[in-house]
């Protein structure tokens, strides 16, 4: 496994913007053909309730732009001081060029800014933070990390196995250079499980064709999902999650020397309440220290779900206190990683709805 320690980087700000439309699962009952019993079961077990999605034409970059501008204005950031911009997403503006380069111009950053995209989803915040911390460790002073997805665009619109779960969000995270601020990262990848959570069409392996419709996978809604839409083997992803995440905690604690009792918050990727509660039960961690309501309120925000949880449910604590945190991302790839990061009264406002800025 990859184990890395940094001592010169800190998070100064986290802001998250969600889609401008709130959808209730009760209002979408007929769309997804849920009967009353199925709906009650899904609401109780995995926490289906509401989600925020964007209106047509709004991209992940628009959500991240609003989040970044809020940080710049509130902290009076000089755009010329930002030396690198990283954009973690699986829903870029275009297949090419990198959206990060477009955002460099849109945000008014210097042409000397290093900018590129990172194609990751559920583990994307942890991997993006690791990359940003690496830049700071190497000598840069200020890095802007953007993470998020218009996740509602990744699924078939009537695919009841995935579409009801997905929410749209974009976060901005400002990372600064300091001295004597230790952080620890543990990272893993396993491409042998890539077929369990995948968008098969649209790349060079299987180019996009308008007429291509996914072959029957034994699912009653298979005809509602094209090769350009995400497919998930729910059982395999659940088994993967509850297998690797508890081990990841153990690896991180052994690496850092920190114990579970010393951690103020465990903020995990938020796929759904059922997976998170199973992980918390195995680890013996309370809801107060490991929040699990994000997907029920905002939807699965993909790479922005950790930051979305901070701004959605922990913004007062992160804004006012010095905290010891563990962040954990896991999912598509298959990819998973965890980090121990301390924060000290950072700028962390409540979640914003997209307002067209």
Catalytic residues: 122, 269, 300
User: Cα–Cα distance between 253 and 246 in angstroms, integer?
Assistant: 11
Distance CA 129, CA 7 (A): 14
Q: Residue written as tokens 């945000």?
A: 107
**Cα–Cα distance for residue pair 230/86, rounded to 1 Å:** 24
Residue 72's H or E segment, with its range, is helix 60-74
**Distant-in-sequence, close-in-space partners of 210: CB < 8 Å, separation ≥ 6:** none
**What phi and psi values does residue 165 have, to the nearest 5 degrees?**
-90, -25
Which residues in the chain belong to E strands, given as ranges? 2-6, 9-18, 21-24, 50-53, 84-88, 114-118, 142-150, 168-177, 183-189, 197-198, 231-232, 265-268, 322-331, 335-344, 352-353
The C-alpha atoms of residue 64 and residue 28 are separated, in whole angstroms, by 27
Backbone angles phi, psi at 71, to 5 degrees: -65, -45
């Amino acid at each position: 496994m990859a184990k890395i320690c940094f001592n010169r980087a800190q998070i100064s700000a986290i802001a998250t913007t969600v889609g401008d439309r709130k959808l209730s699962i009760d209002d979408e009952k007929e769309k997804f053909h849920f009967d009353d019993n199925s709906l009650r079961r899904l609401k109780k077990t995995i926490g289906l309730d509401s989600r925020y999605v964007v209106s047509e034409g709004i991209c992940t970059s628009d959500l991240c732009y609003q989040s970044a501008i809020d940080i710049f204005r509130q902290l009076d950031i000089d755009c010329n001081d930002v030396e690198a911009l990283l954009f973690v997403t699986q829903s870029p503006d275009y297949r090419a060029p990198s959206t990060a380069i477009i955002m460099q111009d849109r945000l008014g950053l210097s042409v000397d800014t290093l900018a590129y995209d990172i194609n990751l989803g559920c583990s994307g915040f942890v991997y993006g933070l690791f990359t940003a911390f690496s830049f700071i460790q190497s000598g840069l002073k200020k890095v802007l990390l953007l993470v998020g997805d218009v996740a509602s665009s990744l699924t078939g619109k009537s695919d009841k196995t995935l579409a009801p779960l997905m929410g749209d969000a974009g976060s901005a995270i400002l990372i600064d250079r300091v001295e004597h601020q230790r952080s620890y990262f543990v990272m893993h990848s396993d491409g042998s499980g890539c077929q369990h959570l995948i968008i098969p069409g649209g790349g060079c392996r299987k180019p996009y064709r308008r007429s291509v419709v996914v072959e029957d996978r034994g699912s009653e809604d298979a005809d509602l999902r094209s090769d350009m839409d995400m497919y998930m083997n729910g059982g395999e992803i659940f088994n993967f999650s509850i297998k690797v995440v508890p081990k990841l905690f153990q690896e991180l604690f052994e690496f850092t020397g920190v114990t579970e009792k010393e951690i103020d918050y465990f903020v995990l990727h938020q796929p759904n309440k059922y997976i998170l509660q199973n992980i918390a039960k195995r680890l013996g961690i309370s809801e107060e220290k490991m929040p699990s309501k994000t997907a029920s309120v905002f939807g699965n925000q993909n790479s922005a779900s950790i930051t979305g949880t901070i701004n959605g449910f922990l913004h007062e604590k992160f804004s006012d206190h010095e905290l010891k945190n563990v962040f954990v991302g896991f999912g598509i790839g298959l990819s998973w990683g965890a980090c121990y990061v301390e924060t000290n009264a950072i700028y962390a406002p409540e979640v914003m709805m997209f307002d067209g800025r």
